[in-house]
Amino acid sequence: MREEITSSIRARAQDLQQELVNMRRKLHSHPELGFEETQTAKLICKKLDQLGVKYQSGVAGTGIVGVIEGCDSGPTVGLRADMDALPISEESRKPYISKISGVMHACGHDAHVACLLGAIEVLVELRKSIRGCIKFIFQPAEEIDLGAKAIIAAGGLKYPKPDAFFALHCNPDIPVGYVGLRSGIVMASIDNIRIEVTGLGGHGAMPQKCVDSIVAASALVMNLQTVTSRAIDPLKPVVMTVGTFRAGTASNIIAEKAELTGSIRCLDSEVQQLLPNIIQNICDKTALTFGADVELDYENRVPVLVNSKSMTDIVRRSTLAVLGEDKVLDIAASMGGDDFAFILKEVPGTYFHLGVGSSEKTRMALHNSQFDIDESCLSIGAAVLASSAMLALEELQQQG
Ligand SMILES: [Zn+2]
Ligand SMILES: [Zn+2]
């Protein structure tokens, strides 16, 4: 990429810093849950109108899909930001604390939106140097794993079909000014289970006349741990978490029903395919042992997120160009998940981490009620998105 383009991306993103802070704070104080991002979408559309960019709102409910058309035909590169917040009550003394009770941007999606808007503004000004198309998606409902799927179902990846796609995510463990990158498997798959155990209720003093659903469900919780320790290759990590266990009404009544829900993560799509049968088998055998009825509801929610090698290399080179040497850190794969994985199943691309940490305060973990970012990350995120898009267009063009 020409040095002239790199330096104008760097300079324009810098100029936008205060504007991006204002936008991020507006979004931060008005967080909205998945598929309810109406005010967020309105704010985004207002900005896109100012920039004179073509877009469609109301995609998959609250999503926005648009394009920046370059001066000449060529490939299409996509950029995505998720918009939704979490059901958490924010604890903060900052002036931009959430005004919506019980809802908070604790995963930094407010920053993702600001970064993408910044990137769009920078790219609009570079239109004369763009040969091809930049597609952008403001995606709803990432936290509930449904937004990316809904955007794809609504045709968000068609007309034009992107040849590459990028997205960033805040990472408070990475100092601001740095970008975390990894090629290959980056994030885990997410599957959910709901298990209903039905026994025979009765008097707490006469267990011989009952089938105790709590005892059967307790055994099931323990047996499920053998998925990771006994049934799967130990070199292939799996997390099996039972998150809820509901049963019983009184101390002297044997509960007829117990319900468990859980989340299962892994870093290998072949392992993900094996899991439903293994878990069904454990449910069946446990049911037999206790004479209870066990119903398993197994849901594949999100696939493993895999970054393309060539696109990761593009983000690496564009980051080094706009931020300078040593600004890329290698990151480990995580058992967390992101539904950007659905987009990466359709289009090669890269999901990278944007450093947002600087002091103890901004190092609060994602999804914590005190989570915050070092806002100087915003122009950096915008610059890395814009330069990665430009470099990808250039390289795809050369490949023909
Ligand atoms: Zn999150
Ligand atoms: Zn997130």
Q: What digits encode the pLDDT tens for the residues 349-379?
A: 999 999 999 876 667 899 999 999 999 999 9
Q: How far is the CA of 108 from the centre of ligand 2 (A)?
A: 6
- Point out the ligand nearest to the CA of residue 143: 1
What are the structural domain ranges in the chain? 3-186+304-399, 189-302
| Average pLDDT for 101-128 | 97
**What's residue 344's pLDDT?**
98
The two beta strands, 349-357 and 164-175, are: parallel
**Burial category of 341 from C-beta neighbours within 10 Å (exposed 0-12, middle 13-18, buried 19 and up):** buried
User: Which residues place a Cβ less than 5 A from the ion ligand 1?
Assistant: 107
Span 260-273, mean pLDDT?
96
Q: How far is the CA of 142 from the centre of ligand 2 (A)?
A: 7
End-to-end Cα distance, the chain:
17
Residue 279 sits at the vertex; the CA angle it makes with 276 and 281, to the nearest 5 degrees, is 110
**What is the distance in A from the centroid of ligand 2 to the CA of 103?**
14
In the prediction, which pLDDT does 2 show? Answer: 84
Contact between 1 and 129 under an 8 Å Cβ cutoff? The reply is: no
User: Crossing angle, helix 377-399 and helix 309-323, to 10 degrees?
Assistant: 130
307-329 residue pLDDT tens: 999 999 999 999 999 999 899 99
CA of 74 to the centre of ligand 2 (A): 31
Q: What is the pLDDT of residue 318?
A: 96
pLDDT per residue over 123-172, tens digit each? 999 999 999 999 999 999 999 999 999 999 999 999 999 999 999 999 99
Q: What spacing in Å lies between the alpha carbon of 338 and ligand 1's midpoint? A: 8
| Residues paired with residue 329 on neighbouring β-strands, in sequence order | 180
Identify the architecture of domain 189-302 in CATH.
2-Layer Sandwich (3.30)
Residue with the two structure tokens 């648009």: 66
- Closest ligand to C-alpha of residue 112 is 2
- pLDDT at position 212: 98
CA gap 10, 177 in Å, rounded: 13
CATH 3.40.630.10: does it fit domain 3-186+304-399?
Answer: yes
pLDDT of the residue at 42: 98
pLDDT of residue 399: 87
Beta bridge partners of 192: 263, 299
Question: Which ligand is located closest to the Cα atom of residue 109?
Answer: 2
